[in-house]
Amino acid sequence: MNPVKKYRDSLLSLLCVVSWFVLVVRIFRSATGDHVFRDFIITCLITTGVGIAGGVILLFFAMVRNRKLKHHFIYNLFGTLNLSIGFTGLSIFASGEGPAPYILTACFVVGVVIYNDIYSRRTIR
């Protein structure tokens, strides 16, 4: 795979992730009701859970089946999703005091491993 396709897929997946979060925020900003904040938090947790689970499943599938998933857009999308959720969440939690964000750290690590697989010369085995 040439580097131009890798960078194009990364930028397109970043655009998809940012668009998703903008849509979610705009929908919940226009919503009214008693449980809007709770529903927003649940939506963010579901998105984070899907990102972690999908990334781990794709990494496991790449190791077991010896597939070169780094050529597929969905692999790059899950890597970008995990990296952006992990980086944003860790920077938010680092600014304030709170419990250790283990889920966000796992998200960040899965994103880094996927991006390492995409941009390195060797594949995960």
User: Distance (Å, rounded) from C-alpha 73 to C-alpha 6?
Assistant: 9
Residue 98 belongs to a domain: yes
| 55 within some domain | yes
Count of positions (residues) in the chain:
125
Whether 40 is in a domain gets the answer yes
Backbone φ and ψ of 72, nearest 5°: -100, 145
In a domain, 89, yes or no: yes
Whether the CB-CB separation of 115 and 81 falls below 8 Å is answered with no
pLDDT for 61: 83
Question: Is 27 a domain residue?
Answer: yes
Q: Specify the pLDDT at position 13.
A: 92
Residue 53 inside a domain? The answer is yes
Spell out the alpha helix ranges (H) of 31-101: 36-65, 73-95
Query: What is the domain extent for residue 83?
Result: 3-119
Q: What is the predicted pLDDT for the residue at 124? A: 58
In a domain, 124, yes or no: no
Q: What is the pLDDT of residue 125?
A: 53
Q: The pTM is what?
A: 0.82
For the chain, 125 residues long, the average pLDDT of each consecutive 10-residue run is 83 92 88 84 86 88 74 88 87 69 85 87 61
For residues 115 and 89, what is the distance between their CA atoms, to the nearest angstrom?
18
Q: Is the dihedral of CA 55, 61, 66, 72 positive or negative?
A: negative
Note whether residue 125 is domain-resident.
no
Number of domains in the chain: 1
